[in-house]
């Protein structure tokens, strides 16, 4: 659960950037919302330290759905809730578990948000990330290397969101005028994945 500290730091660092992205095609609150949510997560984990991975992930999920405030709250909350269910009695995350978690997180986000690839949402970063992770895992790569491939795919997904029009969320009111802007949700997804990867790299 220490990885959450790295994630929170990355979200805080990118707070204004994410908000600026959301100013272009949304309601200018994504960075503020995400920072409020992840700082609340840190407070929660410090005030009531979880005694298992499963409980920790559930605590992250419940805090996000209560404190983010925007659509990303229930969406990321659902993603972490799915991860918590997959974690069961495990205490560490290996490549196999990470692959299951990433795929479940994507499924959860897609089913709640009713979004598919190409809608200019976080799915455009996370779905290719999960696929790239699995491809690396199948070719025998270790956790860090799988995560690195997934980050690369997520960043490519973020770039791809610049080329398409939004079909979900407030940005969809803009239609074709949203083309040229990268999606804030896809960007925060890539930032979270990169932070988790950075944490794995640090801790080995």
Partner 1 sequence: MVGIVIVSHSGKVAQGVKEIAMQMADEKLKMVAAGGLGDGSIGTDAAAVYNAVMEADSGEGVLVTADLGSAVLSAETALSMLGEKLKSRVAIADAPVVEGTIAAAVTASSGAPLADVKAAAEEARDARKLE
Contact set with partner 1 (CB under 8 A): 29, 33, 36, 62, 65-75, 77-78, 112-113, 169-170
Show Cβ contacts of residue 147 under 8 Å, excluding neighbours closer than 6 positions: 98, 133, 193, 196, 197, 200
54-83 binders of Mg ion (CB under 5 A): 70
Residue 18 near residue 34, CB atoms below 8 Å: yes
Least distance in angstroms from the C-beta of 73 to partner 1: 6
Instruction: Name the token pair of 43.
Output: 């407070």
Least distance in angstroms from the C-beta of 170 to Mg ion: 6
Q: How far apart, in whole angstroms, are the C-alpha atoms of residue 160 and residue 139?
A: 26
SS3 162: coil
Least distance in angstroms from the C-beta of 88 to partner 1: 19
Nearer to Mg ion, 8 or 188 (CB): 188
Instruction: Name the token pair of 147.
Output: 């995560």
Q: How far apart, in whole angstroms, are the C-alpha atoms of residue 194 and residue 134?
A: 17
Least distance in angstroms from the C-beta of 82 to partner 1: 11
Nearer to partner 1, 42 or 112 (CB): 112
Q: Exactly one of 6, 8, 21, 26 binds Mg ion (CB under 5 A); which one?
A: 26
């Amino acid at each position: 659960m220490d990885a959450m500290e790295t994630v929170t730091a990355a979200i805080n660092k990118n707070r204004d950037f994410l908000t600026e992205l959301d100013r272009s095609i949304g309601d200018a609150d994504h960075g503020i919302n995400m920072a409020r949510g992840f700082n609340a997560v840190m407070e929660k984990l410090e005030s009531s330290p979880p005694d298992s991975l499963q409980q920790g992930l559930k605590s992250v999920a419940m805090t996000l759905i209560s404190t983010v405030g925007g659509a990303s709250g229930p969406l990321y909350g659902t993603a972490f809730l799915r991860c918590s269910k997959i974690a069961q009695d495990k205490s560490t995350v290996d490549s196999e578990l990470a692959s299951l978690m990433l795929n479940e997180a994507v499924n959860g986000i897609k089913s709640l948000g009713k979004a598919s690839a190409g809608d200019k949402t976080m799915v455009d970063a996370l779905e290719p990330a999960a696929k790239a992770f699995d491809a690396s895992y199948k070719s025998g790569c270790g956790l860090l290397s799988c995560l690195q491939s997934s980050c690369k795919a997520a960043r490519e997904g973020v770039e791809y969101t610049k080329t398409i029009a939004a079909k979900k969320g407030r940005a969809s009111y803009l239609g074709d005028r949203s083309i040229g802007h990268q999606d804030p949700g896809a960007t925060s997804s890539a930032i979270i994945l990169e932070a988790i990867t950075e944490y794995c790299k640090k801790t080995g």
